[in-house]
Structure 1
Amino acid sequence: MKTTIRERLLELADENYRTFSASLIPNIGNVLGVRLPELRKLAKAIAKGDWRSYLASADNDYFEETMLQGMVIGYAKTGVEERLRLVADFVPKIDNWSICDSFCVGLKFAGANKPRVWEFLQPYLRSDREFEIRFGVVMLLDYFVDERHIGDVLQRLAHIRHEGYYARMAVAWALAECYAKFPELTMSCLEAGELDDFTYNKALQKIVESNRVDAESKRIVRAMKQKAVKARSLRGG
């Protein structure tokens, strides 16, 4: 009898890793504990076969079942438009940062199809859903922090408005990535005053924590954070 995908996932589950992994993803109680290298190996095997049938009937009861689908979409051999349709179908299933970020990093086709993918991402950047925004922002930081797109990326990041923690943290992370590669342009964005206090301060924190930012720049950024704290206390915030 042929082993089902779920049976294979259950075979690969590691209780110690399940405890560790679940602790990193709040509000998720359906983790089996399959390590990412094992998931990738399984995804590659599925992608070599009838992956369309798999995606059409795949279950989403467990965290790893959803993660696996995202990986298969990244590995599958198909054209840009079909892959984008698969991405659009998958995004509503994203309900945590781990699936979101792993899914994005696996969409390598974006690097070779930037004009079309940029167009595709715009509705997500304007969404009112937390993980749709995070998906759009993580795609920007993974594939569009380059000389051609940096101005547009910073503009999009500065105008995202959402109270969701994971949406705002994604913006802060993206701004830190932008700063590491384009410090002057990103500094202008930070100084423009368009970001909410939480996102602004988290962006400064992530810049200071970055190994790609020099000590003098970190000193300046720390001073910006102190100035922001003082300003907030003066206005009673």
Structure 2
Amino acid sequence: MITDVRTELLSLAEPEYQKFASALIPNITNLLGVRLPALRKVAKRIAAEDWRGYLEAAKNDYFEEAMLQAMVLGYVKTDLEEWLRQIARFVPKIDNWSVCDSFCIGLKRAKQHQDEVWAFLQPYLISDQEYEIRFGAVMLLNYYMDEHYIHRALAALDRIKHEAYYVKMAVAWAVSIAYVKQPDITMRYLQNNTLDDFTYNKALQKITESLRVDAETKALIRSMKRKTAKVQHTARSSKG
């Protein structure tokens, strides 16, 4: 099955799309150039077949192979315990923002099991691994910005202290989503937090980029920018 899947991915690869996609994920060199809708189609088929056998034997030689596994886990039907176990098995394979973020978006079942998934996420939020932390932060911004969880989510984000660029950008993104969803609570947090200057200012920037924030509020948010933020020297993708 694995050989067949790889052959299918190779047949779906588009050289021009490969060039385009590679520019968006600068730290990845193993991208075939398969479009996401095509990958989703393959993932849905695998999820309806022997998905356990596929995940057990799946390789990570190509970016699309990791992305496909991430997508399959969003489509499978199994009990919560096995689902979380399969997620935990996959998380160490994440090595870029694209797979991480697509993976999290696909785990929609978390909405129906907030308490159990919240407990599951805690080790990732205090990890020392860049993409484990990003996984936790992106799960928070997708599924824990409601009134019931917002205080705990912001507290968890505030505790993250890691110098990796994609961690900082995930925390900033999460705080900006928190503001859009829960502006009063998040404003109080923005006025009293321990975020580093880079992450804090990026969060403000992302808030001002939201179409759901009015012009007057954007002006206020801009006025809150810290003046002592350190310059981020490393060139990265604009995606955060």
Q: State the TM-score bracket (shorter-chain normalisation).
A: over 0.9
Cα distance, 1:171 vs. partner?
0.4
Task: Find the residue that maps to 1:37 and give its secondary structure.
Answer: helix
1:1-237 matches, cutoff 5 A:
4-225=4-225, 228-229=226-227
8 Å CA contact 2:2, 2:57 repeated in 1: no
Q: Which runs of 5+ in 1 are unaligned?
A: none
8 Å CA contact 2:70, 2:103 repeated in 1: yes
Please give the alpha-carbon distance, in whole angstroms, between the structure 1 residues aligned to 2:218 and 2:51: 47
Please give the alpha-carbon distance, in whole angstroms, between the structure 1 residues aligned to 2:203 and 2:142: 17
Please give the alpha-carbon distance, in whole angstroms, between the structure 1 residues aligned to 2:197 and 2:85: 36
8 Å CA contact 1:92, 1:132 repeated in 2: yes
Cα distance, 1:193 vs. partner?
3.7
Cα distance, 1:3 vs. partner?
6.8
8 Å CA contact 1:162, 1:168 repeated in 2: yes
8 Å CA contact 1:208, 1:221 repeated in 2: yes
Q: Which runs of 4+ in 1 moved over 4 A?
A: none
8 Å CA contact 2:2, 2:58 repeated in 1: no
Please give the alpha-carbon distance, in whole angstroms, between the structure 1 residues aligned to 2:128 and 2:2: 43
Aligned partner of 2:153: which letter? V
TM-score after normalising by structure 2:
0.93
Q: Using a 3 Å threshold, how does the CA distance of structure 1 residues 152 and 14 change in structure 2: closer, same or farther?
A: same
Aligned partner of 1:17: which letter? Y
Aligned partner of 1:203: which letter? A
8 Å CA contact 1:158, 1:189 repeated in 2: no
Instruction: Write out per-residue CA displacement over residues 202-224 of structure 1, whole angstroms, 9 at most, x where no aligned residue.
Output: 00100011111111110001111
Structure with higher Rg: it is 1
Cα distance, 1:73 vs. partner?
1.1
Please give the alpha-carbon distance, in whole angstroms, between the structure 1 residues aligned to 2:137 and 2:212: 20
Q: Which runs of 5+ in 2 are unaligned?
A: 231-240
Q: Using a 3 Å threshold, how does the CA distance of structure 1 residues 7 and 183 change in structure 2: closer, same or farther?
A: same
Please give the alpha-carbon distance, in whole angstroms, between the structure 1 residues aligned to 2:68 and 2:33: 13
8 Å CA contact 2:121, 2:136 repeated in 1: yes
Cα distance, 1:108 vs. partner?
1.1
8 Å CA contact 2:18, 2:31 repeated in 1: yes
Cα distance, 1:187 vs. partner?
1.2
Cα distance, 1:80 vs. partner?
0.5
Cα distance, 1:2 vs. partner?
10
Please give the alpha-carbon distance, in whole angstroms, between the structure 2 residues aligned to 1:201 and 1:37: 34
8 Å CA contact 2:201, 2:229 repeated in 1: no
Aligned partner of 1:98: which letter? S
Please give the alpha-carbon distance, in whole angstroms, between the structure 1 residues aligned to 2:133 and 2:24: 20
Please give the alpha-carbon distance, in whole angstroms, between the structure 2 residues aligned to 1:3 and 1:133: 32
Please give the alpha-carbon distance, in whole angstroms, between the structure 2 residues aligned to 1:154 and 1:2: 41
Q: Using a 3 Å threshold, how does the CA distance of structure 1 residues 183 and 2 change in structure 2: closer, same or farther?
A: closer
Q: How many residues align?
A: 230
Task: Find the residue that maps to 2:60 and give its secondary structure.
Answer: coil
